[in-house]
Amino acid sequence: MEKIQIETIEMHTGGGPLRIVKTGLPSIQGKTILDKIKYLRNNLEYVRKLIIHEPRGHYDMFGVYLVDIEGADIGCIFIHNEGYSTMCGHAIIALGRYVIDHGIVQKPVSAETGIIMQCPCGPVEVFVQNDNGKTGDVRFNSVPSFLFKKDFDVEVPGYGKVTVDISYGGAFFAYMPVKQLGLDLSTTPTDRLRNAASLVTETLKGVLELSHPQSQDLAFLYGTILTDGKDESEESSHMCVFADKEVDRSPCGSGTTGRIAQLFGRGIIKLGQKRAFRGPAGAKFIAKAVKEVKFGCHNAVVVEVSGKGNYTGSSVFTLEADDEIGKGFLLK
């Protein structure tokens, strides 16, 4: 393999990192986003490992490839420690600023610029605030989201029986109050929360059957979200553990979307009723259900999530031809 050089822009949303590949990405074949992900898995996995894994990244790094897709302003392929995500709200929020600031999407500047981002789960409407030419807060309207299954009991090794809700917000998550595990979001060490949530996910994968109205490629459990149990409160906290035990520092955009769909499906909130959700780093997303829709056999909602991404720097990563370790590794 010849020397490789990849240029990135670094951002974060609520503490959740986002590494945006600017140059150096080889051509990705395929007509749809899902086709392109299949091509990446078969041909370009080395790129993902190069920029997400050590020594350039870390266990909880997150990134995105931007691609051209017919019918959208931009296409997004999300990457993490295990592979490829169907949706990522914290990335969408940061990308809203990036694609306007860098001229990737060229549209007339207004108080709020609308963009269509094609994600693996479907098209997402994004709205970027502008204040005299400076981008700021970003909100997005999700793909149709729904409560898939409520009060699902599962026996988790070492913890006993727990009850979860399964909700979809561009990805499927299990939702449960952390107190069911005898843990606390504020005082329990992160690694213990990480391992417990991951154990719930892996246990559920063995007993839970998922289906998606449009594609079985989207019908998999992405992770578990541990909540503080304050579903009736205007503000609450949660932690999302997804992929291979990856912890989202932000409140998790797709997880927040799914939680609004869960609360709406349970009749706890109504259309237009705002909720604030805090992530492990302390930042919060504001979200609400804005419209009821039918999605396959599901009574679904479109959810609006808002937040702000910030720039943290830029990088030029290289891989020398004789650097085997530099191709990427992870220490767990």
8 A C-beta contact, residue 275 and residue 111: no
Could you tell me if 176 and 27 lie in one domain?
no
- Quick check: helix, strand or coil at residue 322? coil
The pLDDT of residue 156 is 98
Phi, psi for 178 (deg, rounded to 5): -65, -25
Task: Give the chain's domain count.
Answer: 2
The pLDDT of residue 304 is 98
Token digits of residue 320: 């020398």
In sequence order, the 6+-apart residues with CB closer than 8 A to the CB of 58 are: none
Residue 136 located in a structural domain: no
Could you tell me if 98 and 174 lie in one domain?
no
Per-residue pLDDT of the chain (332 residues; tens, 9 = 90+): 678 999 999 999 999 999 999 999 999 999 999 999 999 999 999 999 999 999 999 999 999 999 999 999 999 999 999 999 999 999 999 999 999 999 999 887 789 999 999 999 999 999 999 998 899 999 999 999 999 999 999 999 999 999 999 999 999 999 999 999 999 999 999 999 999 999 999 999 999 999 999 999 999 999 999 999 999 999 999 999 999 999 999 999 999 999 999 999 999 999 999 999 999 999 999 999 999 999 999 999 999 999 999 999 999 999 999 999 999 999 88
Could you tell me if 280 and 174 lie in one domain?
yes
Instruction: Tell me the torsion sign for CA atoms 182, 13, 308, 270.
Output: negative
pLDDT in tens, 13-70: 999 999 999 999 999 999 999 999 999 999 999 999 999 999 999 999 999 999 999 9
Residue 244 located in a structural domain: yes
Length of the chain as a residue count: 332
Rounded (5°) CA angle 249-255-259: 130
Could you tell me if 115 and 228 lie in one domain?
no
Q: Which residues are catalytic?
A: 88
pLDDT in tens, 90-116: 999 999 999 999 999 988 778 999 999
Instruction: Tell me the torsion sign for CA atoms 288, 99, 170, 280.
Output: negative
Could you tell me if 174 and 81 lie in one domain?
no
Could you tell me if 114 and 182 lie in one domain?
no
- Quick check: helix, strand or coil at residue 177? strand
Could you tell me if 62 and 198 lie in one domain?
no
Q: Rg of the chain's alpha carbons, rounded to an integer?
A: 19
From CA 53, how far away is CA 55, in angstroms rounded?
Answer: 6
Could you tell me if 323 and 244 lie in one domain?
no
Token digits of residue 224: 């578990």
Q: Which domain holds residue 59?
A: 4-129+311-327
The pLDDT of residue 329 is 97
Rama region for 125: left / alpha / beta (φ>0; ψ in -120 to 50; rest): beta
* H-type alpha helices, the chain: 33-43, 45-52, 89-101, 190-205, 253-265
Could you tell me if 99 and 174 lie in one domain?
no
Could you tell me if 202 and 298 lie in one domain?
yes
The pLDDT of residue 132 is 87
The count of C-alpha atoms lying within 13 angstroms of the C-alpha of 120, restricted to the half-sphere facing its C-beta, is 26
CATH number at residue 70: 3.10.310.10
Token digits of residue 13: 């949303």
Could you tell me if 181 and 266 lie in one domain?
yes
Could you tell me if 111 and 227 lie in one domain?
no
Residue 29 located in a structural domain: yes
8 A C-beta contact, residue 125 and residue 114: yes
Q: Which of 2, 54, 55 is nearest to 24 (CA)?
A: 2
The pLDDT of residue 1 is 60
